[in-house]
Amino acid sequence: MNQTDVKQLLEQMTQDEKIAQLMQLAGFFYEGAAQRGEITGPMEDLGIEEETIINSGSVLGASGAGEVRSIQEAHLKKNRLGIPLLMMADIIHGYKTIFPVPLGISCSWNLDLAEKSAEAAAKEAAVSGVHVTFAPMTDLVRDPRWGRVMESTGEDPFLNSEFAKAFVRGFQGDNLKEDLHRVAACVKHFAAYGASEGGRDYNSVDMSERQLREMYLPAYKAALDEGCEMVMTAFNIVDGIPATGNKRLMRDILRDEWGFDGVMISDWGAVKELIPHGTASNEKEAGKLAIEAGVDIEMMTACYANNLKELMEEGQLEESLVDEAVLRILTLKDKLGLFEKPHRGADVKLEEELVFSKEHRQLSRDLAAKSCVLLKNEGVLPLGKEQKVLLVGPFASSGDVLGPWSWKGPRDEAVTMEEGMKRKIGANNVSVAAGCGIEEAVTEEQWKEIELAVKGADVIVAALGERSEMSGEGGSRADIMLPLAQVEFVRKLKRFNKPVAVVLFNGRPLDLHGVTDQADALLEAWYPGTEAGDAVADLLFGEVNPSGKLTMSFPYAVGQVPVYYNRFNTGRPQKAPHIRERYVSQYLDIPNEPLFPFGFGLSYTSFFYSNLSLSGNVVRSDESIRATVTVTNQGEYAGEETVQLYIKDEVGEVVRPLKELKGFKKVFLKSGESQEITFKINETMLRYTHSDLGYRSDAGSFTVFIGTDSENGKTAAFELELTK
């Protein structure tokens, strides 16, 4: 097939067939169940006929080579024109081999491993019959009360853009028609879902278009510039209009200004949700708004299926809008080679061979070790293999280490902390006593068990955190502390006067009151995925030196939220964090600074920055300068450092952030080794969205800041002269 064939196919389709092609139903509508009349519930709820299923265009959440092949075969037998189904699913951080949650992956600052994780996930999904994944999620986040921050890559537009591109490359490769072990990517949620008010899921989003363009849109655009095939709409409103029915956002910006002509799919039920949002009074109006906004596929509701025909008959809807939607869907099917190979990569034998392979699990372990962030270490880590360890806490033996959106990942095959530790130093060197639960206080009996066990231990490792259901979609929390039972538990552990190393398993930056002061060492593990226990043990015993850096700030307290590094100075900034004055921008009860800032992460060694120099002090339109700094490993362990480049625009036409990440480089240094790290600074890096929405730079003064995180580094000044 080619584009001409696709257009000819479209011409052969009846109106009913075209409208049904815009429908996406969940897998349980297929597998012959609906045809056998075994499906009653949702089909009746949706008010759709079996004809709609036979002519529908895509399936949500079906997988398994055998199952998907049988769905496709049954479908092709019934579909008059033999148009194959698209199989779409949420492969967010792995298919069966689960990688760290994306917020964890982003803390590795390792774009290559991120891409490889997406490639491995795509391979496992493709041989299991999946054609499209609903990833990457590139919503910029600043509010850890929101459960879906675990799915994001953090608070910075530049870094989110880099990871978006890496994930798209990994999922899609560079030839979807030929490479049957890749899947099409779908960037989401367009747009600004991460700015839901109060961190409450599905809540309103309201910001200027300038802010939207400056902070929230870049990463979606980066994914599309990398060739991402699809876009998914967000549940929230943008500037008063639900994204799914927002022509300004979808037609003017996404399709006309950015030139995106790929498939746009609504989020689950988001078309029909235009009714509770209050911009449509019924499903017919909702369908009209969404198709006019350019939404091609309606996921799991039937506003299109049940109303588009009538809208066209009444002259309320041009058939050309339906045609262009169908054409985009048929084009995607052609790009995936489905007309020639309707089963595409689905292969039962390869599925057995490739899914959950040792190679993929090793990759997951490597990435997990690089995704963890060492937040505190007062002489406790790395542990010696001769040490006796008491492992306690609700995550001591828990398989709940995959995190949300780990769909096909088997928890019972995930490596627990207990397994990882025992494998590392031998079962007789690790005693385990869970102690408290996630929210359940330690009982007298459990405490007696611990008192006994601690006698023979040199160090206590407390594996604490949130149940994975406490984050993810619909998982917003107003209080983001560790559950009090665990905070109390850590405090009691300190009575034993033994070193306590806390390992955290959680889906969001937490309010760590009562933990950071009690723990002698603190390792943020997020949800590390299938190889959790081994990856964390690799770090705790120093086989891998921690190198993760936070991509989302940890607030000092939830009252500080939203807190993020690229904030504005205000007209009354504090003179310095510790200087308390009344009439400045501050709190009476807590500092302005986060507990742990963006870019922060410790190592078992220490890196010293010196000799920041600029090759010149003036950047011109077509003349860049180079910033060079020397990084020295001053400690006894070899380690990897992520050198971060930030730039501050001292004066702008609109207020400019205190600093903005503009680059980063990873360097591996042996003990005592030094290396010069150089960044190029050019005019394009200094552009921003002006009040007239123009994206350009202004001549003037800038400060470059190169360091180990967003608060510690060396600075130098330079000017920008515009010669064009």
Q: Which residues bind ligand GLC (CB under 6 A)?
A: 90, 134, 188, 267-268, 473
Nearer to ligand GLC, 232 or 686 (CB): 232
**H/E segment holding residue 374:** strand 373-377
Q: Which residue has the tokens 């937490």?
A: 510
Q: Is 696 helix (H, G, I), strand (E, B) or coil?
A: strand
CA dist., res. 564 & res. 566, Å (int)? 6
Nearer to ligand GLC, 299 or 414 (CB): 299
Residue in 339, 371, 654, 662 with CA at minimum distance from that of residue 529:
371
CA dist., res. 608 & res. 707, Å (int)? 9
CA dist., res. 543 & res. 530, Å (int)? 19
Provide, rounded to whole angstroms, the least separation between the CB of residue 269 and ligand GLC: 8
Q: How many helices (H) and strands (E) does the chain have?
A: 21, 26
Nearer to ligand GLC, 267 or 366 (CB): 267
What is the signed CA dihedral for 291, 294, 298, 302, rounded to 10 degrees?
0
Say if strands 700-707 and 713-721 run parallel, antiparallel, or are unpaired: antiparallel
Q: CB-based contacts of 38: which residues, under 8 Å, 6+ apart?
A: none
Provide, rounded to whole angstroms, the least separation between the CB of residue 452 and ligand GLC: 47
Nearer to ligand GLC, 99 or 268 (CB): 268
Provide, rounded to whole angstroms, the least separation between the CB of residue 134 and ligand GLC: 3
Main-chain dihedrals φ then ψ at residue 288, nearest 5 degrees? -65, -45
Provide, rounded to whole angstroms, the least separation between the CB of residue 267 and ligand GLC: 5
Q: Is 347 a catalytic residue?
A: no
Nearer to ligand GLC, 194 or 533 (CB): 194
Can you spell out the DSSP letters for 548-568?
Answer: ---SSPBPSSGGG-S--SS--
Can you spell out the DSSP letters for 215-242?
Answer: IISHHHHHHHHTT--EEEE-SSEETTEE
Nearer to ligand GLC, 42 or 663 (CB): 42
Query: What secondary structure letter does DSSP report for 684?
Result: G
Nearer to ligand GLC, 299 or 532 (CB): 299
Nearer to ligand GLC, 111 or 299 (CB): 299
Provide, rounded to whole angstroms, the least separation between the CB of residue 532 and ligand GLC: 23
> Does residue 328 contact residue 262 with C-beta atoms inside 8 Å?
yes
Nearer to ligand GLC, 268 or 554 (CB): 268
CA dist., res. 50 & res. 709, Å (int)? 57
Provide, rounded to whole angstroms, the least separation between the CB of residue 431 and ligand GLC: 41
Please identify the residue of the shown chain whose CB is closest to the bound ligand GLC. 134
Can you spell out the DSSP letters for 264-321?
Answer: EE--TTTTTTHHHHTS-SSHHHHHHHHHHHT--BEES--HHHHHHHHHHHTTSS-HHH
Class of residue 211 by CB neighbours under 10 A (exposed 0-12, middle 13-18, buried 19+): middle
Q: Is 173 left (phi over 0), alpha (psi -120 to 50) or beta?
A: left
Identify the active-site residue in 139, 267, 347, 649. 267
Provide, rounded to whole angstroms, the least separation between the CB of residue 27 and ligand GLC: 11
**H/E segment holding residue 117:** helix 111-127
CA dist., res. 530 & res. 533, Å (int)? 8
* Cα separations in angstroms, 637 against 204, 459, 522, 536, 634: 48, 21, 19, 18, 9
Provide, rounded to whole angstroms, the least separation between the CB of residue 201 and ligand GLC: 9
Catalytic positions, written as ranges: 267
